[in-house]
């Protein structure tokens, strides 16, 4: 495929035009919209076996309407258009949005960004859907998968570590201390061989530096020392810039009309411009129900209060880097680091005492893990001084790092012969900068107070012989973040998923996504073409024990489940709400059923599904035990999943700090979090879980739920209204 339309570079695409663009005429909008619909119809007519579905056609029309009407580029008062579309399983939503979106991008001489939440959907788009569209659409287009910088190798780092194995790198210091001398030498040799092999693959053209294209993906800790990072990159001043896999991928993005990315990269790029400017692009957000959670994760922050060895080495690193290039460090970093470490150590000690007091444990007891959330987002006065000190000192240290980094780049610019040394020294600073940055951002959030509180908490975790204490801060309303940072830039966008409604309404998602009440938003629900009443049934098996009595309920539910497993003939899926619940069921499996059960966590997800598929194909029963991650995105058509057993209504853990903080805030302003948040969120998860049963128009399956609240409570019946129209057997 070749790019037949000249497009500006990513950088110039993000620039503001000197003069406002004229608004599109009604005739232009109509032409663009017509082109989008025609592209979809052409794909349908040219694809063998494609069935024309009215719902899919309705979705394509709304996509074309939406992406044709938004004003791209510089406008005094731009018109914005956003469509929120729930498309049930089997609708074929990727064709319904991709065909018109690509046609509109070509007609409007811009790009379309398709952002997903999962790797599986990205692979489907890149390997199946987009190649098929390229064969069907008359005008050629180029498409590219955009990845974060950290998915690519830094050639400069690889050159350095290929000879040493990173055995002396600070990143592995904590790990090395837990190993014997012999084990350390063995690990150093293993890493050296790994990096030498990677360097050989690069040098011989067998690998382009993309981590995902390695035959054997490296351990994340090994990869971390050679991964490309913004903090360690001098960009064009780097001597390996022309060969850099990340910037080669960026150049490919600039030549593509269709860019596939994930939600994390999309939100992270809002400030870094790693993707084209959203005000001058079309946007499709598939798997859109994930967007609010991704937003909270993107804007949260945490700092490690316990592992401070890196900080001890920071002054030496900075002064040595400056000295090698004849530069000066702008501040007394030895004093700064000494004061910063003292403040962090003091905060860590007080934090540990608070967490142990809260959990009823002490430093001599077992199981030191625990979480302490601060009510109403207010830090105790005893912590304020230390946190304020951390903010002030870390900010000064961060400024000194930035100044030194700027000076290093200036040296590389003035004297290209020093470019290699400058890049290497800049990378040394880059190992410190993100850690200092997390201290600054977290301390600032911990001290922030406004009308809407933040979730703030301390967490103690033990593992590998170490106890780690971290401090966390996170906003609690994703809609506010998305309104401020995403929708303020977007002009034409489509948000779609199979699960955007809850209890029969879009309101919950619209509120969470920051779109409720916005006049530019239009919603559409496209029903699945499946005949759920004919193809499946929903059974609710009531227990005597109340689900609120967890121990008694689990015992009774497990007993009923074991009885039901006896009747499984082919494939089945059991979804649990907790590891403890799943373990209780596992321990109760009778001997003659042990061989048919596959449990999440025993093997990788891929291997579990392969084993399950083979067993069913060979004519034997097979039952998958899984948690929330198995309740979404698992595609097991036909005999692979003839029954979905739901152990309990999938309420989220009540101890999640962010959920707790949000509920607390809603109560304080007179709102009811259970009905406003908990029930709608559970309704979405239940819709996802029941959606594992019917995957094609030929499937016959049943859903068995052991939680009587689904039919015996008002909120359960609300959730029931939002589920597919299964034949109900209570």
Residue 12, pLDDT score = 33
Q: Exposed, middle or buried: residue 361 (CB in 10 Å: 0-12, 13-18, 19+)?
A: middle
- Other Cβ atoms less than 10 A from the Cβ of 4: the count is 11
Based on the fold, state whether residues 371 and 508 are members of the same structural domain: no
Among residues 245, 264, 280, the one where a domain terminates is 245
Angle between helices 381-414 and 309-324 (to 10 degrees): 30
The answer to whether the beta carbons of residues 241 and 420 sit under 8 Å apart is no
DSSP for 364-395, written as a single string: TSS---EEEEPGGG---HHHHHHHHHHHHHHH
Which of 245, 277, 311 is where one domain is finished? 245
Based on the fold, state whether residues 442 and 382 are members of the same structural domain: yes
| Residue 44, phi then psi, degrees to nearest 5 | -60, -45
For position 3, what pLDDT does the model report? 33
Segments forming the whole domain that contains residue 269? 10-18+25-142+255-297+479-526
Q: Where are the beta strands (DSSP E) in 216-291?
A: 258-262, 282-285
Cβ-proximal residues to 697 (8 Å cutoff; 6+ apart), any chain = 90, 529, 530, 531, 535
User: β-strand 81-87 against 143-145: which pairing, if any?
Assistant: unpaired
Q: Give 696-720 as a DSSP string.
A: STT--EEEEE--THHHHSHHHHHHH
Quick one: which of 224, 211, 220 has its CA closest to 171?
A: 224
What is the per-residue pLDDT for 361? 59
Distance CA 157, CA 164 (A): 11
Residue 464 is assigned to a structural domain of this protein: yes
**Angle formed by the axes of helices 309-324 and 433-447, nearest 10°:** 130
Give CB contacts under 8 A, 24+ apart, made by 179-185: none
HEC sequence for 16-56: CCCCCCCCCCHHHHHHHHHHHHHHHHHHHHHCCCCCCCHHH
Asked if the structure places residue 469 within a domain, the reply is yes
d(CA 318, CA 550): 55
Provide the pLDDT for residue 495. 98
Helix axes 419-430, 433-447, angle to 10 degrees: 40
Q: How far apart are the first and last CA of the chain?
A: 55
Please name the helix (run of DSSP H) or strand (run of DSSP E) that holds residue 471, with its range, or none: strand 466-474
Fill in the DSSP letter of residue 653.
P
Question: The domain spanning residue 604 has which CATH number?
Answer: 3.40.50.300
Close Cβ partners of 368 (under 8 Å, ≥ 6 residues apart): 356, 361, 460, 462, 467
Give just the sign of the alpha carbon dihedral 46, 47, 53, 55. negative
| 276 occurs within a structural domain | yes
* Tokens found for residue 259: 């860019």
Do residues 129 and 39 both lie within one domain? yes
CB 481 within 8 A of CB 475: yes
Residue 407 tokens, joined: 């000076």
Residue 10's pLDDT is what? 41
* Shared domain check, 484 and 353: no
pTM of this prediction?
Answer: 0.90
In total, how many domains does the chain have? 4
Task: Tell whether 554 and 652 lie within a shared domain.
Answer: yes
Is 413 exposed, middle or buried, given 0-12, 13-18 or 19+ CB atoms closer than 10 A? middle
- 235 & 181 share domain: yes
Angle CA 123–125–128, to nearest 5 = 90
Q: Quick check: is 4 in a domain?
A: no
Instruction: At 262, list the tokens.
Output: 């994930």
Low-confidence ranges of the chain (pLDDT < 70): 1-21, 163-180, 361-368, 464-465
Distance CA 451, CA 439 (A): 24
Would you call 229 helix, strand, or coil by DSSP?
A: coil
- 5 falls within a domain: no
Same domain for 462 and 390: yes
Of 528, 576, 522, nearest to 553 (Cα)? 576
Whether residue 14 sits in one domain with residue 81: yes
The rounded distance, in Å, linking the Cα atoms of 358 and 20 is 58
Same domain, residue pair 323 and 387: yes
DSSP letter (8 states) at residue 416: G
Q: Are residues 106 and 214 in the same domain?
A: no
Q: What local confidence, expressed as pLDDT, does residue 180 receive? A: 67
CA distance 188 to 204: 24
**Structure tokens of 248?**
């080669």
Confidence (pLDDT) at 217: 84
Note whether 266 and 482 are within 8 A (CB). Answer: no
Q: Would residue 166 be called left, alpha or beta, if left means φ above 0 and alpha means ψ between -120 and 50 degrees?
A: left
In a domain, 179, yes or no: yes
One domain, residues 486 and 455: no
Quick check: is 331 in a domain? yes
pLDDT score, position 13: 37
Distance, C-alpha 623 to centroid of its chain: 28
Angle at 521 between CA 517 and CA 525, to 5 degrees: 105
**Do 258 and 114 touch, CB atoms closer than 8 A?**
yes
DSSP 491: S
Structural domain contains residue 2: no
Phi and psi, residue 536, nearest 5°: -155, 175
Do residues 440 and 292 share a domain? no
Closest-CA residue to 354 (of 269, 456, 435): 456
Contact of 723 with 690, CB cutoff 8 Å: yes
pLDDT value of position 17: 39
Q: Tell me what pLDDT residue 360 has.
A: 72
Sign of CA dihedral 356, 361, 365, 368: negative
């Amino acid at each position: 495929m070749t790019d037949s339309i000249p497009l500006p570079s990513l950088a110039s695409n993000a620039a503001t035009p000197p003069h406002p663009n004229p608004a599109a005429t009604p005739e232009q909008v109509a032409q663009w919209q017509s082109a989008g619909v025609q592209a979809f119809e052409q794909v349908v007519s040219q694809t063998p076996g494609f069935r024309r579905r009215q719902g899919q056609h309705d979705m394509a029309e709304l996509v074309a309407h939406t992406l044709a009407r938004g004003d791209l580029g510089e406008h005094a008062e731009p018109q914005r258009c956003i469509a929120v579309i729930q498309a049930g399983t089997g609708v074929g939503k990727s064709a319904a949005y991709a065909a018109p979106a690509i046609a509109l991008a070509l007609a409007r001489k811009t790009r379309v960004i398709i952002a997903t939440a999962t790797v599986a959907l990205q692979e489907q788009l890149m390997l199946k859907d987009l190649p098929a569209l390229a064969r069907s659409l008359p005008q050629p287009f180029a498409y590219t998968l955009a990845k974060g910088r950290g998915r690519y190798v830094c050639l400069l780092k690889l050159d350095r570590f290929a000879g040493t194995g990173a055995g002396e790198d600070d990143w592995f210091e904590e790990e090395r201390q837990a190993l014997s001398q012999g084990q350390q030498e063995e690990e150093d040799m293993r890493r050296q061989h790994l990096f030498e092999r990677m360097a050989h693959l690069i040098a011989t053209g067998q690998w382009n530096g993309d981590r995902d294209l390695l035959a054997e993906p490296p351990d994340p800790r090994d990869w971390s020392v050679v991964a490309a990072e913004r903090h360690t990159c001098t960009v064009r001043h780097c001597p390996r810039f022309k060969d850099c896999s990340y910037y080669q991928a960026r150049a490919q993005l600039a030549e593509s009309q269709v860019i596939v990315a994930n939600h994390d990269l999309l939100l992270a790029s809002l400030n870094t411009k790693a993707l084209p400017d959203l005000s001058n692009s079309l946007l499709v957000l598939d798997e859109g129900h994930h967007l609010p959670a991704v937003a909270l994760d993107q804007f949260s922050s945490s700092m490690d209060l316990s592992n401070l060895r890196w900080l001890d080495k920071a002054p030496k690193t900075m002064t040595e880097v400056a000295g090698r290039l004849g530069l000066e460090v702008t501040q007394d970093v030895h004093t700064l680091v000494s004061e910063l470490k003292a403040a962090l150590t003091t905060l860590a000690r007080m934090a540990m005492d608070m967490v142990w007091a809260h959990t009823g444990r002490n430093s001599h007891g077992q199981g030191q893990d625990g979480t302490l959330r601060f009510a109403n987002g207010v830090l105790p006065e005893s912590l304020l001084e230390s946190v304020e000190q951390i903010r002030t000192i870390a900010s000064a240290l961060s400024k000194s790092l930035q100044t030194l980094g700027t000076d290093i780049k200036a040296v590389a610019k003035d004297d290209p012969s020093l470019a290699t040394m400058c890049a290497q020294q800049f990378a040394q600073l880059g190992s410190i900068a993100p850690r200092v940055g997390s201290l600054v951002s977290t301390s600032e959030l911990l001290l922030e107070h406004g009308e809407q509180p933040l979730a703030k908490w301390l967490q103690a975790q033990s593992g590998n012989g170490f106890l780690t204490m971290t401090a966390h801060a996170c906003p609690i309303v994703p809609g506010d973040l998305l309104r401020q940072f995403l929708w303020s830039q977007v002009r034409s966008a489509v948000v779609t998923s199979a699960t955007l409604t809850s209890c029969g309404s879009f309101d919950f998602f619209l509120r969470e996504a920051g779109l409720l009440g916005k006049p530019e938003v239009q919603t559409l629900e496209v029903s699945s073409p499946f005949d759920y009443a004919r193809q499946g049934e929903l059974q609710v098996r009531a227990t005597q024990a109340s689900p609120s009595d967890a121990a008694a309920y689990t015992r009774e539910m497990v007993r009923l489940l074991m009885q039901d497993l006896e009747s499984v003939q082919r494939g089945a899926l059991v979804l649990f709400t907790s590891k403890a619940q799943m373990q209780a069921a596992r321990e109760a499996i009778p001997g003659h059923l042990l061989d048919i059960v596959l449990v999440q966590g025993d093997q990788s997800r891929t291997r579990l599904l392969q084993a399950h598929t083979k067993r069913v194909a060979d004519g034997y029963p097979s039952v998958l035990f899984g948690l929330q991650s198995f309740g979404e995105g698992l595609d097991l058509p036909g005999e692979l999943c003839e029954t979905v057993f739901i152990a309990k209504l999938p309420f989220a853990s009540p101890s999640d700090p962010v959920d707790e903080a949000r509920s607390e805030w809603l109560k304080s302003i007179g709102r009811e979090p259970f009905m406003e948040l908990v029930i709608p969120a559970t309704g979405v998860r239940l819709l996802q879980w029941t959606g594992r049963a019917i995957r094609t128009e030929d499937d016959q399956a049943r859903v068995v739920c052991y939680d009587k609240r689904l039919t015996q409570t008002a909120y359960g019946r609300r959730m029931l209204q939002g589920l597919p129209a299964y034949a109900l057997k209570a």
